[in-house]
Chain A
Amino acid sequence: MPGYYRAELSAEMKITPSPGAEKSPTEQTEAAREAAGDTGLAHEAGPETVVLAGSREEVLAAMSKVIEASLDAGARTVEIKVEAEGDAPRFGEEHANRE
């Protein structure tokens, strides 16, 4: 992911609604988006796509919630692309890995 202020981990999740499910495709997508929004890490990235960005721990946990909500709503496919950035050292730590 481009950007000069990058999150440690980002996950792009594309939810493909299932036409045969009890809930409508819109409701399935909406359920996934709502779950993503509740994690506090989400942005829309297309009609059926969300991006989660944050720390590794946060994003991995959030992904699980979005997948669960998608499946519960009837979706059968969630495509995920995960990108990781290196940790920036924290204040007071060794100035590691820098020239």
Chain B
Amino acid sequence: MKAESAPTRERPKILPSNPGKIGESRPRADGVPKVRGEFEYSSDLRVDGMLWGATLRSPHPHANIWSIDTAEAEDMPGVYSVLTHEDVPGRKVYGMEVPDQPVLAWEHVRYEGEPIAVVAADHPETARRALEKIAVDYEILDPITDPAEALREDTPKLHLSGNVLKEVHIKHGDVEATADVVVSGEYEVGMQDQAFLGPESGMAVPDGRGGVDLFISTQWLHIDRDQIAESLDLPPEDVRLTLSGVGGAFGGREDLSMQIHSCMLALDAGRPVKMMYNREESFYGHVHRHPCKMEYEHGADREGNLVYVKARLVFDGGAYASSSNAVCLNAGTFACGPYDVPNARIDSYMLYTNNPPCGAMRGFGAVQVCFAHETQMDKLANKLGMNPVELRLKNAMKPGDKFPFGQTVPEPAPVAEILERVENMPMPEEEEIIGRDLRRLPGGVSNVTRGEGVKRGVGYAVGYKNIGFSAGFDDYSTASIALSVEDGEPIIYVHTAAAEVGQGGVTLQAQISRTELGVENVAVLPADTRIGSAGSTSASRQSYVTGGAVKMACEAVRGKVFERVREEFGDEFGGELSMEDGSVLAGNRRIVALAELLENGGIEETVVYRHKPTYPLDENGQGDAHFQFAFAAHRAVVEVDEELGLVRVVEIATAQDVGKIMNPQSLEGQIQGGVAQGLGLALLEEIQMKDGKVQNASFTDYLLPTILDMPPVRMEVLELADPDSPYGLKGVGEPPTISSTPAIVAALRDATGRELNRVPVKPEQLAGIEGEPIRRAPQPGSRGPVADDLGSEA
């Protein structure tokens, strides 16, 4: 394949590494520099003469804009550019699925923090002060913050075609089926943030010919490039992106943030422009996990066989579409969990509101429904008087069953096996409470308990999710492999556009190349748009899709090497040709060293790899929508201080099918990290909203689990090969996040006996003191509770 655009500068010299082969534990190349503070993130980019960009944001979640006056800001010394929607040269809206989000708002703002104007100045403080000089005349409107309100017909429309962004209706079997044993419940998941540590940042550099280079931390270079080019009204080849150091992503960098803004400013000012959000701005600068309210009903016979599942899911998509369509579809398809359900009716709705836009986050719709369906399974087991693991085993889906969305469950689908594995793992020993290290008590070193009121609980959950992009999307990746000789040694150059966001993709690409071509030295070039798209680093897909592309490109190179060998040495070798230790072998016999074979020229091959096709759902929500599924089960052991509602997670045990362990150390990291994010959702992490405004846009107030909250993770990994995937591997990044949350909450219920139908679980729920304060007559000499604290009746 021809490179898509011309380079504007020399490729940096990349130091080769010896990455080992697949299946070996190899530390990530970026690991040590990150720990030592030496890694260069996109926020560290600098160039002489650069300007600093800044963004004026709406303080209101819903308002009309009557005028924007930038004159005073433009007159400030040190200010080089002030731009509004009138300066967007091309399409004034962007969006991955639906182009509904203004690059810069014109008549309306639909969420707090929506960008209205951007400024470039010679100092970040000058840029900030210039923002203060921009006068915006707002007419403040009542925000619509409740998806249920947005769904009502008499509610004002936030977008031209109404407030319903997407509906998915799945009808499977007899949707009117009835059962002897019925349980129902209402569940809620709060708005979780990806909480990546590196805030949004990048630098745009004008090329002097009307084009622009953007150095950026993102998850998908090409979809960024295409959206930027549309809004700049430039051909895609005039917008070149290079991946810079990414400080985590988890879905939050799939949408654009400052990409178009920085390019507009750089092209207008004729100077490089760097933009870097601070932590508070970052909360407004990216999408979050969708909050969701779910109504469920499960029916079963008296032996515990599921008869039907009915679910109604209502997601808060926030102000703009982002990837909400796909989240709505995913949630609908996975709403029943990994069980053989003969009859189902699932209705999934995605609504626009004046809350922050929500979009991709690790687990992508499967997280919310897993919390609900696993709570329902525990409730059903309780009503039947069954062991909850036994109930799950009885209903576990297996290859050949039908998913509620009509697709046949493929091999491997080891739901029962992973459940049995977590059930059979040894339990953590119960440590004597008296005399215990405080760090191992609920509340930790705050010294709030010596063990009184502390109860232990155990909970189980199992979940699953698709890998990669589904429902007919043309999901592919491009890879180029160049095999040459430098300083007398063979070396492989790997080039893709796959974004390394901390998942270990660069190391894996090198391992695959090393394995396939038998060459020690491998250099992975920076990801950029000079090569074709690799798709997004999301949906747990890069090992499969870009890994597949790298493997396929290596095979193409190997084929060319063997052709050259045959040309030079004939056909009769007495054995199959192979490549090992920098040589071509026939059987065990060395035919030629690559250094000799390639001395007059290397070999380069570029390929495009696709997984098998998928198809959209039909009007009844039926279709072969997904190409791979990954499963994980979790067991949580917790200790709860019932009086204060404080929790210590003692241990998480997990079993997961990964198809093939590509790099054991990376895999362990993914599982540990996913569990940490699941624990965060269970106990701590929620963006607090009030009247459409974010209340906790900082890492002081948005609570994240730390290493002190993180328990040991006992893990068993199954290698059941997927016959369709490269090496049989499965995506591994998301499953640890999906069922760890409901397992922890199930353990909290086990310890406290409380319902706990909402995550994150708050201490007041565990202590049984949530809800309205008790109204009492004031004490003598007291005015009693003030009206604001107790509502208007007080």
| B92 and A45 within 8 A (CB) | yes
A97 to B, closest residue via Cβ: B613
| B160 and A98 within 8 A (CB) | no
> What is the predominant secondary structure among interface residues of chain B facing chain A?
loop
B472 touches A (CB below 8 Å): yes
Q: Encode contact with A along B439-482: 1 for CB under 8 Å, 0 otherwise.
A: 00000000000000000000000000000010111000000000
> What is the predominant secondary structure among interface residues of chain A facing chain B?
loop
| B472 and A89 within 8 A (CB) | yes
A39 to B, closest residue via Cβ: B161
Interface residues of A (CB under 8 A from B): 1-5, 12, 33, 36-47, 49-51, 53, 88-91, 93, 95, 98-99
| A46 and B92 within 8 A (CB) | yes
Q: Which of B202-210, B280-288, B342-350, B614-622 contacts A (4 or more CB under 8 A)?
A: B614-622
B610 touches A (CB below 8 Å): yes
Separation in Å of the B555 CB from the closest CB of chain A?
A: 15
Name the interface residues of B275-309: CB closer than 8 Å to any CB of A.
none
Separation in Å of the A45 CB from the closest CB of chain B?
A: 5
Separation in Å of the B605 CB from the closest CB of chain A?
A: 17
B620 to A, closest residue via Cβ: A91
Contact A90-B96, Cβ < 8 Å, known A1-B230, A5-B325:
no
A35 to B256 Cα, complex, angstroms: 30
7 new A-B pairs (CB below 8 Å) besides A3-B97, A90-B623?
A: A3-B96, A5-B97, A40-B161, A41-B161, A50-B160, A88-B471, A91-B618
Q: From A3, A5, A39, A41, name the one whose CB has the most chain B CB atoms within 10 angstroms.
A: A5
A50 to B107 Cα, complex, angstroms: 14
Q: Could you list some 24 contacts between A and B, CB below 8 A?
A: A2-B96, A2-B99, A2-B227, A3-B98, A4-B323, A4-B473, A5-B96, A5-B323, A12-B91, A37-B161, A38-B161, A39-B161, A40-B161, A42-B159, A42-B161, A43-B161, A44-B93, A44-B100, A45-B92, A53-B98, A88-B471, A88-B473, A90-B618, A95-B613
| A2 and B223 within 8 A (CB) | yes
B residues near A12, Cβ cutoff 8 Å: 91
A90 to B618 Cα, complex, angstroms: 7
| B100 and A2 within 8 A (CB) | no
A3 to B325 Cα, complex, angstroms: 12
B residues near A40, Cβ cutoff 8 Å: 161-162
A38 to B, closest residue via Cβ: B161
A residues near B227, Cβ cutoff 8 Å: 2
A residues near B102, Cβ cutoff 8 Å: 44
A residues near B536, Cβ cutoff 8 Å: 4
A5 to B624 Cα, complex, angstroms: 16
Separation in Å of the B358 CB from the closest CB of chain A?
A: 16
> How many residues of B sit at the interface, in one of the four size bands?
35 or more
A46 to B472 Cα, complex, angstroms: 30
The answer, among A42, A50, A91, for a CB contact under 8 Å with B616, is A91
| A43 and B226 within 8 A (CB) | no
A46 to B160 Cα, complex, angstroms: 12
A2 to B228 Cα, complex, angstroms: 10
Separation in Å of the B184 CB from the closest CB of chain A?
A: 31
B614 to A, closest residue via Cβ: A88
B702 touches A (CB below 8 Å): no
B405 to A, closest residue via Cβ: A91
Separation in Å of the A35 CB from the closest CB of chain B?
A: 10
A residues near B39, Cβ cutoff 8 Å: none
A residues near B326, Cβ cutoff 8 Å: 5
B762 touches A (CB below 8 Å): no
A residues near B402, Cβ cutoff 8 Å: none
B406 touches A (CB below 8 Å): yes
Separation in Å of the B552 CB from the closest CB of chain A?
A: 11
Closest 7 pairs between A and B when the two form their complex, measured CB to CB: A88-B472, A37-B160, A2-B226, A91-B623, A5-B97, A43-B100, A42-B160
Separation in Å of the A48 CB from the closest CB of chain B?
A: 10
B609 to A, closest residue via Cβ: A99
Contact A45-B93, Cβ < 8 Å, known A4-B223, A90-B623, A91-B618:
yes
| A98 and B610 within 8 A (CB) | yes
A99 to B469 Cα, complex, angstroms: 16
A residues near B616, Cβ cutoff 8 Å: 88, 90-91
A44 to B536 Cα, complex, angstroms: 27
Q: From A3, A40, A45, A53, name the one whose CB has the most chain B CB atoms within 10 angstroms.
A: A3
